[in-house]
Amino acid sequence: MINIVVKLDAENLSTPEKIGEMAKRLIEEKKFGRNVVAVVPTTDLLNGNVQQLTYSLSDTPSERELDVLNSMNAHLASSLLSIAIQKRGFRAVSLAGWQLGIQTTGKVNGNARIEEINGDVIIEHFKKGAIVVVAGGQGVDENNNITLLGNGGVDTTAVAIAASINASRVEIYTDRDGVYTADPEIVTKARKLKDITYDEMLELAYLGSKIVHPRAVELAKKFEMPIVVRSSTENVRGTLIKGEIEMEKNLIVRGVAYETDIIRFTVGYESFENSSLSNLFNTLAMHNVNVDIIVQAVIDEVKPTISFSIEKEGLAKAVKVLEDNKESLGFSFANFEVGLAKVSIVGSGMVSNPGVAARMFDRLRKENILVKMVSTSEIKVSVVVPQDDMVRAANALHDEFNLADELV
């Protein structure tokens, strides 16, 4: 028997009817002769009442107790799904993170990290013929405190479990039937990809795609664990994420991604001697301000500047850090620009095909779209453009690299 791990979507567990439908789907997998682990996310089944009750008791509840409370939503969902499976005549068992032996670090920047999982616990339940339902995104630290894994924690739990039981694959159930060449909501000609590499998926995930969290893709790449992204409601072929893909039909660019609400900061100095990349970005890092694209301008007879981009959520913190540290950082002025977006092209074929960036810039020029910042790697090129031009830029680049013209 092969082992598979299925990560469910919160929407699949939002009503008794949907829980019943998901139970039937997992049972079908079992009937095909597969050992099944279902990893469930935090749902909204309890959130409203729990939050209201919590803050009626205290304005400042401890982080430890909040983690315990928030973990209960996934516990509830896993138990209800197990009950629905049992009602249909199949064995099922729900397991919390601590029951599975998911050992984590303490909180790091608000998120714990998985250190170890005891896959033997799941194997023993497989021997009894059970479908195992795991409350995802949680574990226990060295002091047996319940910890939450934060953003991407449920996807990461699924991949880590798969590695611990030598599963053949992880299936990610989503509201889409796979990974597309672009977001179909803004690029009408977007096409579903048959497969995609870990590296390409990582870039797309970091650049704004919400299909699979980059933490999970990184872990899958480490363990060479295939991931299939597929529909949670339709039983159709999805997209396979793996290490290598056939290159014969592969396009140079495989996808277009976008990210809204980008802020561009510019810090100016009286002289080059006063400017210091290390001082500036070490200070921002110490205050957990995440910086993306960086551009330094040092030109004779022109005062030097350093520009960098951040997400909108980091604006207030970045402003405060710069204000509080202006003297030690030695800059003469700092300003920021809002109303920007990031549009990116991604493709492993870019490594061996020069001129992709030039082609991208030329198409944006023809579309009269102003490029304000640029960032490149071996398999991606990102540009910061006015947010009002984001949709037009994404569609133009999708067309420029022929992503709608053939199955890829």
Q: For residue range 229-255, list pLDDT tens digits in order.
A: 999 888 888 999 998 766 545 578 989
Pairing outcome for strands 373-377 and 302-311: unpaired
Is residue 115 domain-resident? yes
Are 155 and 304 members of one domain?
Answer: no
Q: For residue range 17-60, list pLDDT tens digits in order.
A: 999 999 999 999 999 999 999 999 977 665 556 667 777 778 88
Are 16 and 143 members of one domain?
Answer: yes
Contact 254, 348 (CB under 8 A): yes
Is residue 387 domain-resident? yes
Are 30 and 169 members of one domain?
Answer: yes
Is residue 406 domain-resident? no
Query: What's the pLDDT at 408?
Result: 45
375-387 burial string, b = 16+ CB within 10 Å, else e? beeebbbbbbbbb
Is residue 196 domain-resident? no
Does the structure show a pLDDT above 70 at 78? Answer: yes
Separation of alpha carbons 118 and 346, rounded Å: 36
pTM of the predicted structure, to 2 decimals: 0.85
Does the structure show a pLDDT above 60 at 227? Answer: yes
Is residue 319 domain-resident? yes
Tell me, what CATH number does 100's domain have? 3.40.1160.10
Are 169 and 28 members of one domain?
Answer: yes
Report which DSSP code applies to 407: -
Which of 127, 148, 174 lies at the terminal end of a domain, its last residue?
A: 174
| Torsion-angle region of 71 (φ positive above 0: left; ψ -120 to 50: alpha; else: beta) | alpha
Which of 134, 154, 174 lies at the terminal end of a domain, its last residue?
A: 174
Query: What's the pLDDT at 57?
Result: 78
Is residue 408 domain-resident? no
Strand partners, 172: 7, 229
Query: Whole domain around residue 366: which residue ranges?
Result: 256-400
Are 156 and 287 members of one domain?
Answer: no
Is residue 216 domain-resident? no
Does the structure show a pLDDT above 70 at 108? Answer: no
Are 16 and 146 members of one domain?
Answer: yes
What is the rounded average pLDDT of the residues 364-388?
94
What is the rounded average pLDDT of the residues 64-93?
90
Is residue 236 domain-resident? no
Average pLDDT of the residues of the chain:
89
Which of 174, 193, 212 lies at the terminal end of a domain, its last residue?
A: 174
* Total count of domains within the chain: 2
Are 268 and 132 members of one domain?
Answer: no
Are 161 and 284 members of one domain?
Answer: no
Tell me, what CATH number does 376's domain have? 3.30.2130.10
